[in-house]
Structures are given as C-alpha cells and as structure tokens.
Amino acid sequence: MARVTDKPDDKPDKPRRRLPRSVREQEILDAAVRVFSKRGYRAAVVDEIAELAGISKPMVYLYLGSKEGLFVACVRRESARLVAAFREAADAGGPPEGRLWAGLAAFFGYVAEHRDSWVVLHRQAPEQGDEIAGELAAARRSVMAEVTGLVDAGIADAGPDAGGGAVRLGAQDAEFVAHALVGAADSLTDWMERHPDESPEAVTVRLMNVMWIGMRNVLAGEVWSRPEG
C-alpha cells in the first residue's frame, strides 16, 4: 500500500543535510575550486559556489570568512595536493632521471584528473589584491621549487659523466630549465585536452624526449649557437 501522504515536494535532492564543520568545509572548497577555475577569481560569484556546495551563502562566510579567504584556502589546499602528488611520485622514482620522469608523469596525471586545481593555481589574472597575489606566488614558487630540485639533481647526476667539452651547468641553469619545464607542462595541459588519447605517461615521454635529451646533450658538450649573423 503506497503511502498517500508522501510529501509532494519530496525532493530527495536537498535533504538539508546536517554535516560536521570539517566535512562541509571540504565540500565548500570543492565547489569553490570548480567555480574559481571556471570563471576566475573576480568573475566567480559566491552564490554560485554556495549553490554548488548545496548550502546557503552565509555558511560560506561562516566557515571561510570572505571570498578572499575562500580563495586563499583553495589555493593552499590545491597547492599542497599537487606538490604532494609530485613529491610522492618523485620519491619513488629511483635515480634522478627516474625521479624527474615520475614527478612529471604525476603532474600530468594529476592535472588531467584535477584540471580545476591547476587552473586555480596558474590561470588567474594578475594583481587581485595583496594577499591573493602573495598566496598565488607562494603556490607557484613551491611547484617551481620541486621541479628545480629534481632538475638540479639530474644535472648533478649527469654532470660528472660529461666528457671533455662538457658544459658546466649551475643553479641558475636548473632554474631556467625548471621554468621552461613548468611552462611547457602548463601549456601542454591544453594540448592534452585536445588529445585525450594521449596518456599522461605518453605526454611525459614526449616531453622528456625533447627537453631532457636536450639538456643531457648540452651537458655532454653539444652546444647550439646562433647560426651566423
């Protein structure tokens, strides 16, 4: 016998769940990362974040304080996650070259699965206020530091083997290569989107082929210089 008094507006959708703060907070951040990623910090609207998180706007402010605080919290969380993924993979990568490979592969894998995270960290318009600018700069620095560390180790590892004409590469070069690598990787996340058949590992192999071989050969003394004039 079917219940007659089944409430007509029985939306199983919004049971107004009562969740503990810590859980809700994470859900809010999840929603915020999605929206900030889709629209950018300024164009993002707190209402949309709240709606996507399935709560009302005041909860966002109760838990995160302000739109700026919300954004900063997103950046911190996503930055930590990305760095953790990178470092964890690298730590299991064996020799320096393997570590760099593993780290980059983890990076491409992570970004492929959490595109929003990367967009929030690296695709925001400049100068949105001091705290935001600082937080973004810190996040980007921490990514760059990881990569620079691995490149540096790779150089040190490959360096001693270099023969007579070997080029001496130092810290500045590691930084340079790291910048190039991170920038290339960033840009390649777009490429990946248009080539869904390419796995993160395949992309990593392609990138290593171009950049690592280049670097390795430079270390080995093969120097390119401007053709003539």
Partner DNA sequence: CATGAATGAGGCTTCATTCAT
Partner DNA sequence: CATGAATGAAGCCTCATTCAT
Q: Which residues bind DNA (CB under 7 A)?
A: 16-21, 24, 43-47, 55-59, 61-62, 65-68
User: Contact, 120 vs 37, CB < 8 A?
Assistant: yes
* HSE, side-chain direction, 13 A CA sphere, residue 94: 5
Distance CA 182, CA 177 (A): 9
Compare residues 40 and 54 and give the one whose CB is closer to a copy of itself.
40
215 binds a copy of itself (CB under 8 A): yes
Report the residue number, 41 or 63, with the smaller CB distance to a copy of itself: 41
Between residues 26 and 198, which has the closer beta carbon with respect to a copy of itself?
198
Q: With CB cut-offs between 5 and 8 Å by kind, which of a copy of itself, DNA, none does residue 137 bind?
A: none
- Asked if residue 181 binds a copy of itself (CB under 8 A), the reply is yes
- The two tokens of residue 192 are 């990946």
Q: Is 111 in the site for a copy of itself (CB under 8 A)?
A: no
**Which residues 12-51 are close enough to bind a copy of itself by CB under 8 A?**
37-43
DSSP helix/strand/coil, 200: helix
Shortest distance, CB of residue 32 to DNA, whole angstroms? 11
**What, of DNA, a copy of itself, none, does residue 5 touch, CB below 5 to 8 Å by kind?**
none
User: Both tokens of residue 100?
Assistant: 């760099």
d(C-alpha 164, C-alpha 27), whole Å: 58
Task: Kindly tell me the burial class for residue 147, based on how many C-beta atoms sit within 10 Å of its own C-beta (0-12, 13-18, 19 or more).
Answer: buried
Please identify which residue in 101, 107, 108, 118 interacts with a copy of itself, judged by CB under 8 A. Answer: 101
For residues 86 and 121, is the Cβ–Cβ distance under 8 A? no
Q: Count of residues for the chain?
A: 229
* From the list DNA, a copy of itself, none, partner contacted by residue 181 (C-beta under 5 to 8 A by kind): a copy of itself
H or E segment at 51? helix 46-53
Residues at the contact surface with a copy of itself, assessed by CB under 8 A: 37-43, 94-95, 97-98, 101, 119, 123-128, 172-173, 175-177, 179-188, 190-191, 195, 201, 205-215, 217-218, 222-228
